[in-house]
Chains A and B, each alone.
Chain A
Amino acid sequence: MPTLTFIEHNGTEHKVKGDVGQSVMQAATFASLPGITADCGGACSCATCHTYIDDAWVSKLQAAEGMENDMLEYAFERRDNSRLSCQLIISEEMDGMVLHLPSSQF
């Protein structure tokens, strides 16, 4: 079970265990993480599961592409390391990954 660390905008850290094959969004909502509303349930249709991948991890993931990239254009305060967490599927290699949360999803 890979463990992910989410850091809220105010600096609060949350360690969340996820299952391989589950989306990062679902791991976060299953842990009732504040700040990920995920209104569409992972259909890449709402952009309320926005996260920033920590600098140390950015190079290990692909950048957002296609539909995700288009949706992100309208996420609140998009940055180069923005990803929609419903489109990130947890793998063993993600153990220890750090993600930051935006100040708002809207």
Chain B
Amino acid sequence: MTLASVVIVGAGQAGFQVAASLRQEGFEGSISLIGDEPGLPYQRPPLSKAYLLGKIQETNLLFRPSDFFTANRIDLQHDQVTAIDRQNHRVVLASGAALKYDHLVLATGAHNRPLPVPGADLPQVFGIKTKADADALAPLVRSARNVVVVGAGFIGLEFAAVAAALGAKVHVLELGERPMARAVSREMSELFRQAHENWGVRFDFRQGLSSIDSDNGKVVAVQTNDGRSLPADLVVFGIGVIPNAQLATEAGLEIENGIKVDANLLTSDPKISALGDVASFPCLHNGEQHTRLESVQNAVDQARAVAARLMCKSAPYSALPWFWTDQGDLKLQIAGLSSGYDSTVILGDAAEQKMSVLCFRNDRLVAVESCNRMGDHMAARKILTRAPKLTAAEAAAVGFDLKAWEAENRD
């Protein structure tokens, strides 16, 4: 089966990588890459970190220069797909055109969950998703004196660290009881809470906001749920995302917390794949439960898997999830998925801000969170892709070293 045409919807991390990997694998048919953002495909992680700080420039965000797309016959179209016509194997574009596909790839990502309070539409209220968001935010964060961050997840905290470094007073409101509660262990949350407080960030946990007040169209304050008024000239929220699954829903594809795909990343229509932030897939590293991950690793590895399958080199998707976030001078890296862990072993020292948390479920290592301990992270990525052997008791022994254990237990 050789395909004549692949159409990819969404020119973000996953969509770009499918196109690039297809050509690398020797695909000779046509590739249309349709994205509704202006410019060339770019990476998002620096938007809330180095790019916002001005440490890197616009061109440093790009995956490839424009001549790459021409040379590789990747037809990048700035347009929006408005409908999938499954019967006739074509997509309809906002510009009115229609495109035929032999195979369709949905890489539409996710959008920020909107802030559901009065005042959320004011011009000094931001979520960070696109380069346009970061470009609009950059000058404001430099002039802001009082910044309120809503949500102590990864992006909220990355931004809080940037704003504090640029001299603003930063106040974080979080409904949960600790930072990054859904993603990391209590021990790691605590290390990051202390670090942010040392940078001057204030936290209000179990706290939300009821409205954003303005004067002459400018944000002046945030009203908290317990009735306090916090001065603010800039509000940034990061309260989760909603998968861009509308096209798929309207086309009648199976949906379950995003577009539901099988172990080969195929949707309920065998001519349509989905991957990246929008796709919920049976995750080998999460007990084969359907899981939706928002990470560069997930987008890139799934893109390679889709490209390989389209080139008939099929293998079920099995890559180990890993992730990083940079906050101030701290790099947090996570290997594996810790959901449902029941015990932990700590390596290193929280006071020195060098610590790894080994997460076990039923005495089986499922994830390792490392702060400024890259060696542990890389060792964990190797250990977690092998047959399970490391027990919590072994790891808890005095002087245990994850890297040494990894080296001694290679296959």
Residues of chain B within 8 A (CB-CB) of A43 are 45-46, 324, 326
What 0/1 pattern do residues 50 to 69 of B give for CB contact below 8 A with A?
Answer: 00000001011011110010
Whether B373 pairs with A70 at a CB distance below 8 angstroms is yes
Contacts of B296 in A (CB 8 A): 39-41
User: B174 → chain A, closest Cβ, in Å?
Assistant: 25
Q: What total of A-B pairs shows CB separation below 8 Å?
A: 54
Does A26 contact B60, Cβ atoms closer than 8 Å?
Answer: yes
CB neighbours (8 Å) of B403 from chain A are 73
Given the known interface contacts A21-B57, A22-B60, A39-B297, the answer about A74 and B45 at a Cβ–Cβ threshold of 8 Å is no
Q: Are B331's CB and A45's CB within 8 A?
A: yes
- Which A residues lie within 8 Å of B45 (CB)? 40-41, 43
Contact B60 A23 (CB under 8 A): yes
The interface residues of chain B lying within 8 Å CB-to-CB of A19 are: 59
* B 278-328 contacts with A by CB, 8 A: 296-297, 300, 324, 326
- Cβ-defined contact, A74 with B375, below 8 A: yes
Across the interface, name the chain A residue whose C-beta is closest to B380.
A74
The answer to whether B331 and A67 touch across the interface, beta carbons within 8 angstroms, is: yes
Residue A97 at the chain B interface, CB threshold 8 Å: no
- Tell me, yes or no, whether B333 is within 8 Å of chain A by CB: yes
The reply to whether the CB of A88 lies closer than 8 angstroms to some CB of chain B is no
- Looking across the interface, which residue of chain B has its beta carbon closest to that of A70? B374
Question: Which among B331, B333, B374 has the greatest number of chain A C-beta atoms within 10 A?
Answer: B374
- Digit string of B256-280 for contact with A (CB within 8 Å is 1, else 0)? 0000000000000000000000000
Q: Give B42's nearest chain A residue, CB to CB.
A: A41
Are A29 and B57 touching (Cβ within 8 A)? no
Is B378 among interface residues, defined by CB-CB distance under 8 A?
Answer: yes
**A58 an interface residue at 8 Å Cβ cutoff?**
no
A32 within 8 A of B: yes
Bitwise interface map of A from 13 to 51 toward B, beta carbon under 8 Å scored 1, else 0: 000000101110010011010000001111111010000
B375-389 Cβ-contact flags toward A at 8 Å (1 or 0): 100110110000000
Range, interface on chain B: 20 to 34
Bound together, the chains give a CA A32 to CA B67 distance in angstroms of 11
Q: A43-B324, A45-B324, A73-B403 are in contact. Are A67 and B374 (CB under 8 A)?
A: yes
Q: How many residues of A contact B (CB 8 A)?
A: 21
Residues of A within 8 A of B343 (CB): none
Whole-angstrom CA separation of A84 from B296 in the bound complex:
19
Task: Say yes or no for B372: interface residue by CB 8 A criterion.
Answer: yes
Residues of B within 8 Å of A41, CB to CB, are 43, 45-46, 63, 296
Q: Please, how many angstroms separate the alpha-carbon atoms of A30 and B62 in the complex?
A: 9
Chain A contacts for B60, CB-based, 8 A = 22-23, 26, 42
Whole-angstrom distance from the CB of A6 to the nearest CB of chain B? 17
A30 and B324 contact, Cβ closer than 8 Å, known pairs A21-B57, A67-B374, A74-B379 = no
Give min CB distance, A94 to chain B, whole Å.
17
In the complex, the answer to whether B378 meets A71 with C-beta atoms within 8 Å is: yes
Q: With the chains together, A47 CA to B297 CA distance in Å? A: 13
Distance in angstroms from B220 CB to nearest chain A CB is 36
Residue of A nearest to B20 (CB): A32
Cβ of A26: which chain B residues have Cβ within 8 Å of it? Answer: 60
Interface residues of B in 63-112 (CB under 8 A from A): 63-65, 68, 72
Give bound CA distance, A39 to B45, whole Å. 12
Q: Could you say which residues of chain B place their CB within 8 Å of the CB of A44?
A: 331
- Would you call B43 and A32 a contact (CB within 8 A)? no
Q: A39-B297, A43-B326, A45-B331 are in contact. List 9 more A-B contacts (CB 8 A).
A: A22-B59, A32-B64, A32-B68, A40-B296, A41-B43, A67-B374, A73-B378, A74-B379, A74-B381
**Chain B interface residues (CB < 8 Å from chain A):** 43, 45-46, 57, 59-60, 62-65, 68, 72, 296-297, 300, 324, 326, 331, 333, 372-375, 378-379, 381-382, 403
User: Could you name 20 residue pairs across A and B whose Cβ atoms are closer than 8 Å?
Assistant: A22-B60, A23-B60, A29-B63, A29-B64, A30-B62, A32-B64, A32-B72, A41-B43, A41-B45, A45-B324, A45-B333, A67-B331, A67-B374, A70-B373, A70-B374, A71-B378, A73-B378, A74-B379, A74-B381, A74-B382
